[in-house]
Amino acid sequence: MAKPHFQALRGTRDVLSPESERQRELVAVFAEQCRRAGYGQIVSPIFEDLGVFLRVGESTEIVTKEMYEFEDRDGRRIALRPELTASVVRAFLQHNPTVPWKAWYEGPQFRHERPQAGRYRQFSQVGVEVLGTDDPHVDVEVIALGWRFYEALGLRDVTLLINTLGDGDSRQRYLGALAAHLEEHRGDLSDASRETLERNPMRVLDSKRPEDAPIVAGAPVMADFLSEADAEHFDVVRRGLERLGIGHEITPRLVRGLDYYTRTTFEYASAALDTAQNALGGGGRYDGLAESLGGKPTPGIGLALGVERTLLACDAESVFPAPSLAPDVFVIDLTGGDEGTDLSDDLRQAGLAADRAFDGRSLKAQMKLADRSGAAFAAIVGEDELAAGTVTVRDLRGDSGQTAVDRADIVSEIRKRSARS
Ligand code: HAM
């Protein structure tokens, strides 16, 4: 077949049925977890003033190298959102809702990354943000929400990694020690990490380059520099997770790819996926972000989970299959098409899923379509039925044969049979 003129751009995908229905169901499972925990949905714009995302961090590749930014027709600098946390904080500052403000979201994000399995340029996230409290029990609530979501999908091979990055004083003292260590080994660091070191030494810990590995392994760890308050915060988070029976690994070098994090950070990793792309989702505290966006200091914490990666993990674990799209009934009209139109509409209005054939096909061709649709029953109207005011209902799955039903009773007949099958 000749290649069509246009294809979806590199790193973008068309999601066709039934995978698209599966994605929607995944969002529904997440939405239900959020509803139970008292989160309301926020739907914010897909593009924002570039400045909103610049605050996410100057040493964050997502911002410096991967952002889709452009000038619109009014000469304004715009970015397609690479993530939603900054947008949600912007919305919080704009609308000033009562705190704690608990919001959930879903939707596409855009990052100009090198595409590979589980990494796209347009991908979807589900997530939550809580603004206005630094109570560590909120950290537990947010982390548990992500965990229960994976459980609800049926995933078992998920590991929770947590860390604390400290705040204020502890952060400053740690950064001093870390920078000194990295400076000492500057000559052996990769070029990229030397550059990162200038802007944010902590992000060097995130390097996956082999030449950096021994230097990162020997780096001082935050835990040794925590202030009493930060240590107590982390303790409450850990104890809370333990109370809920949520196992976790403390990962001192988990710094995550965004600059705004303070205190608690966490990631959910799937053992069922390739290590390069095994982060199903993650999040953390960002107690300084509201202020850096020009608002009054407001603590915040949230998480975002990658929809595509989560579904890849579901594939790998053979859980959460795509939902069945089989209609309840397939309507077969051998009298020209009008009966099929009326009958399908009656059934659909009654809340039943009814599909049908077009193009005046033969009985054999229509029966084939009915079988392929996966419908449990066929409702057949031929000339005889039309004359007698009946519809023939045929069982397509079992062997209960076929019966003629009064046209007026067809809806209740299909309902009755569907309930039984
Ligand atoms: P993030 O770690 O950049 O965090 O993204 C969260 C998740 O989105 C990742 O773990 C991954 O599953 C998915 N993801 C990221 N990039 C891609 C990609 N190119 N293709 C496919 N999936 C991807 C954030 O976005 C933060 N806003 C999370 C957060 C919320 N922190 C606080 N609140």
For residue 330, the CA-to-ligand 1 centroid distance in Å is 42
Protein residue closest via CA to atom 16 of ligand 1? 119
Mean pLDDT across 105-120:
96
Measured distance CA(359)–CA(373) in Å, rounded: 17
The confidence score (pLDDT) of residue 231 equals: 95
Residue 129 in this model has a pLDDT that exceeds 80: yes
Residue 56 in this model has a pLDDT that exceeds 80: no
* pLDDT tier for residue 232 given thresholds of 50, 70 and 90: very high
The confidence score (pLDDT) of residue 309 equals: 97
For residue 279, the CA-to-ligand 1 centroid distance in Å is 8
Measured distance CA(347)–CA(415) in Å, rounded: 9
* pLDDT tier for residue 171 given thresholds of 50, 70 and 90: confident
* pLDDT tier for residue 201 given thresholds of 50, 70 and 90: confident
323 CB neighbour count, 10 Å cutoff: 12
For residue 286, the CA-to-ligand 1 centroid distance in Å is 15
The confidence score (pLDDT) of residue 125 equals: 98
13, 110, 125, 131: residue to mutate for ligand 1 pocket, most atoms within 8 A of CB: 125
Mean pLDDT across 257-280:
90
67, 101, 109, 131: residue to mutate for ligand 1 pocket, most atoms within 8 A of CB: 109
Highest-confidence range of 199-213, 312-326, 396-410, by mean pLDDT?
312-326
Pick the residue with more confidence: 280 or 222?
A: 280
| Contact predicate 303/281, CB 8 Å | yes
Protein residue closest via CA to atom 2 of ligand 1? 282
